[in-house]
Amino acid sequence: MSALVSTSFSLPKQRSFYRGKVRDVYNINNQYLIMVACDRISAFDVVLPKPIPFKGQVLNQIASHFLELTKELVPNWLLNCPDPNVSIGLCCEPFKVEMVIRGYLSGHAWREYKAGKRTICGVTMPNGMKENDKFPEPIITPTIKATSGHDEDISREEIINTGLVSEHNYLILENYTRKLFEFGSAYAAKQGLILVDTKYEFGSYSGEVMLMDEIHTPDSSRYFYADTYQDIQLKDQQQRQLSKEFVRQWLIENGFQGLEGQAAPVFPDDFIALVTERYIELFEKISGKKFEKQNYEGIEHRIESSVIEYINKLS
C-alpha cells in the first residue's frame, strides 16, 4: 500500500519548517502553523522504519473532530482542515511540558509501578494495584518534551520551581487537562470505550493559553473496550484496547525498547496491515463515522495546492 512518508514544500511566507515524529510543521509568517499529519509511526520516542498507510489521515481527522467538539470548553489553535491530512491553526508559543493524565494504571505508569515505584511525577500511587486498575481519581503526570530521546517525567513542583511554566499558567494547564479528560471520558463511554490515559499539549497565543496539536488520538491516548473491562480485570488478562500499545508490545517482543544501541525492527507487511486496521477501527469507533480512505495518487501535490489556496485566503 502507498503511504505519505514526508513532505517538503516551499509555501508562501514560510518562515521555518520542522519535522516531528509524525507531523511536518510549516511556520507561515509567524502567524499560522501548517501541520501535515504523515503516516510515520513512532514508539519509545523513535520513528520506526516503515510507515502505516492512512495513519496520518486518521490522526488528523480524530484530532479535528475533538478540537471542534471542545472549542467552547477550552480554547484551541485550530482554524481549518483543508485536506484530510492537514490542520492549519494559530502559531502558538508551546509550553515545554506535555500534560499527561491517567485514569488507570497502564503503560508507562504500570511499568514504573511493577518496578517497585509508588510515586510518579511527585504523585503517589496506591499500594495493592494491578495492571489496568482504575485510580481512585485521575492523576496528572507531566513530562518534559525532549528534543531527542525519551521524554522525561517531571513533577508539578519542578515545573514551577524551574520556571518552565509559571504557577499561574500551570494551574490553567491542570484545569484544562482535567476538563478535557472528563469530556473525553464521557464521550468515550457513549461509544462503548474507556479513555484510559492521554496527553495534551498547550501553547500561548497573544497571552492566552490554548490547546494545540492533537487530542484523543490513538497516538496520544489509550482506550479499552468498556463491555469486557471488568471481566478481563477479574481474570487478570490483558485488556482489549485501541491504542498504539500493541505496537509497543510487538517491539518489546522483538527486542526493542528504544534503548541506546538498539536498532528498530522492520514491521512485516501483514503487521502493517493490522496496524492500519486498528487505526481505522478506532476512528470509526470513537467518531461514529465511516472512514473514507483517501486517494494516495498525487497526494503531495493535492496537499500543497489546498494549503496554498487557504494561505492566500488568510492574506
pLDDT of residue 277: 93
- Can you give the C-alpha Rg of the chain in angstroms? 19
Q: What percent of the chain has pLDDT over 90?
A: 88
Pairing of strands 42-43, 46-47: antiparallel
For residues 201 and 189, give the distance between their C-alpha atoms in angstroms, rounded to a whole number.
23
Please provide the average confidence, as pLDDT, over all residues in the chain. Answer: 94
> Alpha-carbon dihedral of residues 272, 274, 279, 283, nearest 10 degrees?
150
Domains defined along the chain, listed by start: 94-242 (3.30.470.20)
Task: Report whether pLDDT(294) > 60.
Answer: yes
Instruction: Output the nine-digit C-alpha cell for 131.
Output: 495492571
Per residue in 106-161, pLDDT tens? 999 999 999 999 999 999 999 999 999 999 999 999 999 765 556 799 999 999 99
pLDDT of residue 314: 87
- Burial class for 133, CB neighbours closer than 10 Å (0-12, 13-18, 19+): middle
Q: How confident is the model at residue 264 (pLDDT cuts 50, 70, 90)?
A: very high
pLDDT of residue 234: 97
Q: What angle do CA 229, 197, 70 make, to 5 degrees?
A: 110
pLDDT of residue 34: 97
Per residue in 97-108, pLDDT tens? 999 999 999 999
Q: CB–CB of 128/234 below 8 Å? A: no
pLDDT of residue 149: 55
Side-chain half-sphere CA neighbours of 283 within 13 A:
23
Report the sign of the C-alpha dihedral through residues 47, 48, 49, 54, in that order: negative
Using CA atoms, how far residue 220 sits from 31, 196, 243, in Å, is: 26, 11, 8
Per residue in 215-252, pLDDT tens? 999 889 999 999 999 999 999 999 998 878 889 899 99
pLDDT of residue 1: 65
Q: How confident is the model at residue 213 (pLDDT cuts 50, 70, 90)?
A: confident
pTM of the model: 0.90
